Amino acid sequence: MGFGCNSAGVVGCRIIDSPRERLIAILTNSFVPCNGRFPFLIALSSIFIARIYGGFTGSIVSTFVVIFLIIIGIVMTLCISNFLSHTILKGLPSSFVLELPPYRKPQFGKIFIRSIFDRTLFVLCRAIAVAAPAGLVIWLFANINFGNQSLLSLIASFIDPFASLMGMDGYILTGFILGFPANEIVLPIILMAYMGGTSLTSIEDNYQIGQILIQNGWTILTCINVMIFTILHFPCSTTILTIKKETGSWKWAFLSFIIPTACGVLFCFITTFLYNVFLL
């Protein structure tokens, strides 16, 4: 379910009887990309990876790159689950017994209504509660100026040295931070920052997006690290609030934020180091 929405995936963990294993599933759910991250991954792969090979071959290679990144996320889910089960969430694995109930004719109306109220509206209400104030914050960051620079540019300049170690720049990392309310707005924030705009920028043409990114110093290393960090970074605010609701503790919500982010930062450090050592 996390491939559709990590928040819905967290709610779906209710079916796991063991509290320990349910918690492990909740903490690792964000390692698989949701629908908000897929468009960004596909766009970057189409712009940079497909461009290297060109034509049909480029399309095939870019597709396999996205699939490979998804597999990395799944492998990380298994590795972190195993790590948690042997450290802070030790315990004996539970058994799972599935009993087939007697067949009854499905009550489609009841299923449809319960699905809407128990799942869809639950997630959407939390998303709306976060999205409205978040939009205001992003607008303020882009429109409040100190001297000749916006607050957004000042923050990007401040974190640029750290972002450089990850093979990115300050604007990219700022885009991920301000994109905390929803993964869909990470790319529009980055484009807005590069173009010096004061509102979120939505561009449908991949060629135009690619030109803007390349003009602002993006390389194949930048693309790879951004794709890695898109897979391995903190879940959106709606998912964090859902985790807090499901676990009843901000401690686990904070841990679900730290674990994937630490993995993403580490992976980006490693790829940047290897690129600088062996390819430069």
Task: List the chain domain ranges.
Answer: 6-92+133-278
Task: Read off the pLDDT of residues 34-67 as tens digits, 9 standing for 90 and up.
Answer: 888 988 999 999 989 888 877 788 889 999 999 9
The predicted model scores a pTM of: 0.84
Q: How far apart are the first and last CA of the chain?
A: 41
Strands (E), 52-189: 145-146, 149-150
Which sign, positive or negative, has the C-alpha torsion 250, 252, 253, 258?
Answer: positive
Instruction: Please give the structure tokens belonging to residue 104.
Output: 């009854």
Distance between CA atoms of 175 and 192, rounded to whole angstroms?
A: 9
**Is the pLDDT at 215 greater than 80, yes or no?**
yes
Task: Read off the pLDDT of residues 159-178 as tens digits, 9 standing for 90 and up.
Answer: 999 999 999 999 999 999 98
Coil, helix or strand for 145? strand
Task: Read off the pLDDT of residues 113-134 as tens digits, 9 standing for 90 and up.
Answer: 666 666 666 666 655 666 666 6
Instruction: Please give the structure tokens belonging to residue 62.
Output: 């870019």
